[in-house]
Amino acid sequence: MQVEQRFLKYVSYWTTSDEDNTTGADVRIPSTERQFELGKLLEQELTELGLKNVTLTDHCYVYGLLPATPGYENRKAVGFISHMDTAPDFSGKDVKPQMIPDYDGEDVLLKGSGDYLKVSDFPGLKSLKGRTLITTDGTTLLGADDKAGIAEIITAIEEIIASDQPHGDIWVGFTPDEEVGCGADLFDLDYFKADFAYTVDGDYEGEIAYENFNAASAVFTIKGVNVHPGEAKDIMVNAALVACEIQSMLPEEETPAHTEGRKGFYHLTDIQGDVASARLSYIIRDHSRTSFEMRLNKLRTLEIEANQKYGSGTVALTITDSYSNMLEVIEKHPHIVDIAKQAISEAGLNPLSRPIRGGTDGARLTFMGLPCPNLGTGGYGFHGPYEHISVEGMQTAVKVIRNIVSITADMD
């Protein structure tokens, strides 16, 4: 099956995850039962391809092994991983892709919404001129993040089998709930026996990414004192105003709207409150561990200062670590990046390494003991109605995966 056919089949499955089911005492993985429908299909496809150790777990993780070619059993075992869920930011139900052969490099009408995918917003569209472009119809996201990665991995495996390409053990793994930060939570490294792996979950098909944010969430809970405003002098503590004051103490220029590259940020994701109580929710990001810790300490200082000003117990800060920058581990295993760069070059592209302004399952897995940088899929504009990908980009990603397998098989 062609990679684009496989991709179009996968995006027809509604697999949106739900962050509301991944917090508190009642954490569920998968966060939505609908992810099992795609999981069952992938389990069936891997089985039909003849992979061994194929399983769909009770928590919707799919694993499979393509055993080494005879004589290659002692080569390093390599893994490829993608996620099945789509982001809860925008609808992933009833996806209606648009196929545009010989794309002209201009703005694209999204026929379902009447909106346009604009070159002015996505200048990279110009580089896709002449390709077969796949977009949304404007009413949903597309699902290239990360069903393109799944399609590319399985297509590469199918081509390896059909061509009798020599290889060591190849493990594949498909996770639920990556988009809500839980994709690696129950990943079974006792079952998935790769020596190293790659998540296939980036954009440019020549990308090899191995540097991501250090990440944490932070919540300020504010307890006010609510009395009649006519008798409030020296008594009232307006929790909503305290929340506004805390936010005002953070640098305006250090937000997502004003940062790029390796610059970190404080991101206020939610604010609730009235006089009696208020709540501020943040995500904190920085590539530098030192700068990241300085950001967290800034929040701790704000908590202390608010309690000194308004009374002990007025403000409580809770910080929860999310993931760490995989660079500190990957730089101890440079050959894994070198393999990918060679594979990308052999596919006719210039390898591109950029800091990820986010995280991947690979970052978590790296700190769990499986070094796991990230490869591009050829998709762009993720998490919304402007998501798009080209058939040729996916085909190149398949070549990169196959090249990695060949290079690994030739290693002593």
Return the active site residues: 85, 178
Q: Which residue has the tokens 């999981």?
A: 39
- Please say whether the beta carbons of 135 and 100 come within 8 A: yes
Torsion of CA 339, 345, 347, 351, to 10 degrees: 90
**Kind of pairing, strands 265-273 and 196-202?**
unpaired
> If we measure between CA atoms, which residue out of 247, 242, 234, 246 comes closest to residue 314?
242
The conformational region for residue 34 under phi > 0 = left, psi -120 to 50 = alpha, else beta, is alpha
Instruction: Residue 142: name the closest of 350, 310, 405, 389 by CA.
Output: 389
For residue 241, the surrounding DSSP H or E stretch is: helix 239-248
Closest Cα to residue 27, out of 214, 191, 185?
185
Q: Which amino acid is at 382?
A: F
User: If DSSP codes are grouped into helix, strand and coil, which group holds residue 75?
Assistant: coil
CB atoms within 10 A of CB 149: 32
The partner residues of 221 in beta bridges, in order of sequence, read: 279, 316
Instruction: Using alpha carbons, select from 301, 290, 358 the residue that is nearest to residue 326.
Output: 358
Task: Please tell me what DSSP assigns to residue 207.
Answer: B
CA atoms of 140 and 112, how far apart (whole Å) = 9
